[in-house]
């Protein structure tokens, strides 16, 4: 979405060092907005500027940084004051599997409410909340019926992980807040599936870690996982459309490129399209017990391991119809992920012919 902003409106992007957040900033700057972003530590300011440069930002003079943490009130009113819109992208993700689910649920829920309250009190027009497919497609029996924005995860079902619960309860809390005490504030949510696409720095999505591990030969085979995919550039584009379109007020939008891909088909795609650079990608299948063992220590794996052998059909019809959104293909998102990791030197490239 490249329409220039002639009014010089101001947009706050929370979590500007994150994968989605950085791409949102890139597109907002390109469209001519004044942009603010929050970081838990301003020591990361130079790192964010480097990522934006890598992403092709032609200028960053319109970008300013604010220190704020989801678990503290400090800094939020200063960050949102004078803003027209807020893209609330920041969300906690653990470095290790949490001992108790509240370690994820409380920061996600309370952080979301903290940002919404500050936005309401500052007279912000609309908040676009980055939710997740985690708030849509879990806690249900296997079905061929596509998941849509009408679907909600049932967090009370067994095998619903702490991360999935945190995203579900945070979005529920956001809608409840808006209905009870949101005032004139408008809310829209974007619910991405597994986010892939060009890597700009060290903070990336769990989905990208799967491609990294396949490419580095860190997995002995392809797990029996089916992944729903969307390119990060299209997720950022959908945020901007949801921010601006009048019809997006009070709506949820599922961000998904198309049908799911199996990990095995991703491995075959990488081998076919990247040649020698993908020689380490395993073409065999990975036993379930192996990935379950990894999940004991890796939160990125733990959140999907309960879906071994399962698939989820999804629909992006609403975003296409209402907002004119047109995402890239699954294949383009996967290859863009791998090519960017090659540029960053993150992969062990085989020297064999």
Q: Is residue 145's pLDDT more than 70? A: yes
pLDDT of residue 248: 98
Average the pLDDT over 293-300 and give the result. 68
Closest CA to 242 of 166, 315, 191: 191
Q: Is residue 350's pLDDT more than 60? A: no
pLDDT digits (tens, 9 = 90+) for 1-46: 656 666 689 999 999 999 999 999 999 999 999 999 999 999 999 9
pLDDT of residue 308: 79
Catalytically annotated residues: 167
pLDDT: is 346 or 115 the higher one?
115
Please, what's the b/e burial string for 251-266 (b: 16 or more CB within 10 A of its CB; e: otherwise)? bbbbbbbbebbbbbbb
Closest CA to 186 of 241, 245, 127: 127
Pairing of strands 34-39, 10-14: parallel
Which backbone phi and psi does 271 adopt, to 5 degrees?
A: -65, -40
And the tokens for 155? 């967090």
pLDDT digits (tens, 9 = 90+) for 186-237: 999 999 999 999 999 876 777 888 898 889 888 888 888 899 999 999 999 9
Rg of the chain taking only CA atoms, in angstroms:
20
Decide: pTM greater than 0.75: yes
In whole angstroms, give the CA distance from residue 48 to residue 320: 31
Q: Is residue 160's pLDDT more than 70? A: yes
pLDDT of residue 265: 95
What mean pLDDT is reported for the chain?
90
Which backbone phi and psi does 85 adopt, to 5 degrees?
A: -140, 160
pLDDT digits (tens, 9 = 90+) for 65-123: 999 999 999 999 999 999 999 999 998 766 666 788 898 899 899 999 999 999 999 99
Closest CA to 32 of 67, 65, 57, 53: 57
Q: Is residue 353's pLDDT more than 50? A: no
Taken in order of first residue, the domains within the chain and their CATH numbers are 10-197+232-258+312-327 (3.40.50.720)
Count Cα atoms within 13 angstroms, Cβ side, for 31: 21
pLDDT of residue 228: 95
Whole-number percent of the chain with pLDDT over 90: 69
pLDDT of residue 346: 77
What's the pLDDT band for 352 if we cut at 50, 70, 90? very low
pLDDT of residue 137: 95
**Three-state DSSP string of the chain:** CCCCCCCCCEEEEECCCCHHHHHHHHHHHHCCCEEEEEECCHHHHHHHHHHHHHCCCCCCCCEEEEECCCCCCCCHHHHHCCCCEEEECCCCCCCCCCCCCHHHHHHHHHHHHHHHHHHHHCCCCEEEEECCHHHCCCCCCCCCCCECCCCCCCCCCCCCCHHHHHHHHHHHHHHHHHHHHCCCCEEEEEEECEEECCCCCCCCCHHHHHHHHHHCCCCCCECCCEECEEEHHHHHHHHHHHHHCHHHCCCEEEECCCCCEEHHHHHHHHHHHHHHHHCCCCCCECCHHHHHHHHCCCHHHHCCHHHCCCCCCECCHHHHHHHCCCCCCHHHHHHHHHHHHHHCCCCCCCCCC
pLDDT of residue 217: 85
Whole-number percent of the chain with pLDDT over 70: 91
């Amino acid at each position: 979405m490249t329409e220039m902003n002639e009014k010089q409106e101001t947009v706050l992007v929370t979590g500007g060092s994150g994968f989605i957040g950085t791409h949102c900033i890139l597109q907002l700057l390109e469209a001519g907005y004044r942009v603010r972003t929050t970081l838990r530590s301003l020591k990361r300011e130079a790192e964010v500027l480097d990522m934006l440069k890598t992403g092709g930002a032609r200028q960053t003079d319109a970008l300013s940084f604010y220190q704020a943490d989801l678990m503290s009130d400090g800094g939020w009113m200063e960050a949102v004051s004078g803003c027209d819109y807020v893209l609330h992208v920041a969300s906690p993700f653990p470095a290790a599997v949490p001992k108790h689910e509240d370690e994820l649920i409380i920061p996600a829920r309370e952080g979301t409410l903290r940002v919404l309250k500050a936005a309401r009190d500052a007279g912000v027009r609309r908040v676009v909340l980055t939710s997740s497919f985690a708030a849509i497609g879990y806690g249900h029996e296997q079905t061929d019926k596509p998941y849509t924005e009408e679907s909600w995860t049932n967090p009370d079902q067994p095998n619903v992980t702490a991360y999935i619960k945190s995203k579900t309860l945070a979005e529920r809390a956001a809608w409840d807040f808006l209905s009870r005490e949101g005032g004139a504030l408008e809310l829209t949510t974007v619910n991405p599936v597994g986010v892939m696409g060009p890597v700009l720095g060290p903070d990336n999505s769990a989905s990208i870690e799967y491609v990294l591990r396949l490419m580095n030969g860190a997995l002995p085979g392809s797990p029996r996982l089916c992944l729903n995919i969307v390119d990060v550039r299209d997720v950022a584009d959908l945020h901007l459309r949801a921010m601006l379109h009048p019809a997006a007020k009070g709506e949820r939008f599922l961000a998904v490129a198309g049908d799911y891909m199996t990990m095995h088909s991703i491995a075959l795609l990488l081998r076919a399209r990247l040649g020698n650079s993908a020689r380490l990608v395993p073409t065999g299948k990975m036993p379930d017990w192996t990935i379950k063992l990894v999940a004991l220590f890796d939160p990125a794996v733990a959140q999907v391991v309960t879906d071994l052998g399962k698939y989820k059909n999804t629909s992006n019809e609403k975003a296409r119809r209402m907002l004119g959104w047109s995402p890239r293909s699954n294949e383009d998102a996967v290859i863009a992920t791998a090519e960017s990791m090659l540029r960053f030197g993150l992969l062990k490239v085989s020297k064999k012919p």
